[in-house]
Amino acid sequence: MNAIGVSAEVLRIDAPRETERISEAIRDQVFNRLRRKGAVIGVSGGIDSSVVAFLCARALGNDRVQTLFTPEAESSPDSLRLGRMVAERLNVPSVVEEITPILQGARCYQRRDDAVRLVVPEYGEGFKCKIVLPGILDESRYALFSVVVQARNGECKKVRLTPTAYLGILAASNFKQRTRKMVEYYYADLLQYAVAGTPNRLEYELGFFVKNGDGAADFKPIAHLFKSQVYQLADYLGVPDEIRQRPPTTDTYSLGQSQEEFYFTLPLEKMDLCLYGRDRGIPALDLTQATGLTSEQIERVYAGIDAKRRVAMYLHAAPIGMEQGN
Amino acid sequence: MKEREMQRMDRIISEQIRNFIHQNFLFGRGFDLGDSDSFLENSVIDSTGVLELVAFLEETYGITVENEELIPENLDSLENVTAYVSRKVGGAVSVNTMMDLRGQA
């Protein structure tokens, strides 16, 4: 760290103390404020939902936590396997709800594939796809979404999306997150539990969630934590190694897709520091050493953060009534 | 193309783009969009809006916006977009053609 610079240490937390603070808050929120008897957690096998499951089990007791796995036809098999690992480690009840039939009923896959065919007409049975953004660091270009399509023979092709195709793929894919939330609330109603949300600070602030999908919850115990802080808690709580080592994935598309290529456009530990810097008005120059980025790159990331926040305003907005002012 | 005709073409392009921006992103909001105002900094369009703008330019002017051309210098204000489209269509589009396109914008 140089004299005026910022180091990654600024994101260091006192994990035992933070765990206690969050546990106390969860107990208060679930039992007193929400008056529910426990918590439902959709566990994806990723770091965030695993940490939330560990925190809820610690706060509420393992007999007051219901974990839920919601695989579908395009999920990675790792998600279910790692989710089960969490439930077994915590000794909490778990249930598997296969959501493929619901998604088929909603024509999620068909609508998504029809949208892909607007730009890749040959897309069909046996093909796989994902949508990606270019990295933000190398050039000052606008980051526009492309679809990557893998044919049956393994050949890949990347095509920039038209607005109609992009919105069609997005709207259809969002059925997945909304269906998962619907199933979580089924168990919340059944058990009189509250639904735990699992976004971290990057996701929450920058709008990396589906409105009324994974963005919906009754309480969000890690929404104030940067991604690297979630890892620190995971380490302290004893989240299994394999989950801590797993690269963050969206697990939404049939081709493997990292969160970096789908949304954040740079490694999450660097995005953590940039968001920290942006929130505190830290000049780009002071972040260069900690991030390994140039000032110019950091300025581009700052502009990207501002743009994502503008989009996130709609995602965070509650329904507006006639008597709630302007 | 003669200079006067070029200037006339620029004015038509600028008007078409302004109409597109107003109809698709401003919805009659009382926002006075200056020729050099940044679309992004003024929250006029977001990243999906850039996709829409690119599709509009490609369809309206029959051009292909290449990946390397997706930069603010080409797309982030009325005057930048107008200058970019004008360069792209160059002498290939006559004022008469532009006049024909006018009603489609």
At A276-298, the pLDDT tens digits run 999 999 999 999 999 999 998 89
pLDDT of residue B105: 43
- Residue entry with tokens 């990243």: B47
pLDDT of residue A290: 92
Chain-chain contact of A307 with B46 (C-beta, under 8 angstroms): yes
User: What is the spatial distance between Cα A96 and Cα A102, in angstroms, rounded to a whole number?
Assistant: 14
pLDDT of residue A259: 61
The angle formed by the CA atoms of residues A259, A260 and A265, to the nearest 5 degrees, is: 140
Measuring CA to CA, which residue among B66, B78, B98 is closest to residue B26?
A: B78
pLDDT of residue B6: 79
User: What is the spatial distance between Cα A286 and Cα A10, in angstroms, rounded to a whole number?
Assistant: 13
ipTM of the complex: 0.81
pLDDT of residue B65: 94
Domain B3-26+39-102 of CATH type 2.60.40 = no
Which residues, in sequence order, are CB contacts of B32 under 8 Å at separation 6+? none
Q: How far is CA A204 from CA A39, A105, A121, A200, A224, in A?
A: 20, 30, 35, 6, 8
pTM above 0.80, yes or no: yes
- In SS3 terms, A176-191 reads as HHHHHHHHHHHHHHHH
Domain A8-105+168-316 of CATH type 3.40.50.620 = yes
Contacting residues of B for A141, CB less than 8 Å apart: 67-68, 70-71
Contacting residues of A for B50, CB less than 8 Å apart: 142, 144
Six-digit token string for B10: 């620029």
pLDDT band at A223 (very low <50, low <70, confident <90, very high): very high
pLDDT of residue A3: 44
Give the distance from residue A162's alpha carbon to the nearest chain B alpha carbon, in angstroms.
6
Compute the count of residue pairs across chains A and B with CB atoms less than 8 Å apart.
Answer: 40
State the best of A118, A131, A142 to mutate against chain B, taking most chain B CBs within 10 Å: A142
Average pLDDT, chain A: 91
DSSP A262: I
* Across A185-199, A212-226, B3-17, least confident range: B3-17
pLDDT of residue B90: 76
> Average pLDDT for residues A212-231, to the nearest whole number?
97
Q: Does B1 touch chain A (CB under 8 A)?
A: no
User: What is the spatial distance between Cα A161 and Cα B29, in angstroms, rounded to a whole number?
Assistant: 29
Give residue-wise pLDDT tens across range A244-284. 998 777 677 777 766 666 565 678 889 999 999 999 999 99
pLDDT of residue A141: 73
pLDDT of residue B27: 83
Contacting residues of B for A167, CB less than 8 Å apart: 48
Chain-chain contact of B43 with A310 (C-beta, under 8 angstroms): yes
Q: Are A13 and A229 in contact (CB under 8 A)?
A: yes
Phi, psi angles (nearest 5°) of residue A258:
-80, 160
Buried b / exposed e along B12-50 (16+ C-beta atoms within 10 A): bbbebbbebbeeebeeeeeeebeeeeebbeebbbbbebb
Domain extent listing, chain A: 8-105+168-316, 112-167
The rounded percent of chain B whose pLDDT value lies above 90 is 42
Alpha-helical regions (H) of chain A: 15-27, 47-60, 77-90, 100-105, 108-117, 163-191, 201-206, 227-237, 241-245, 259, 268-279, 288-291, 295-316
> Average pLDDT for residues A88-97, to the nearest whole number?
98
pLDDT of residue A250: 65
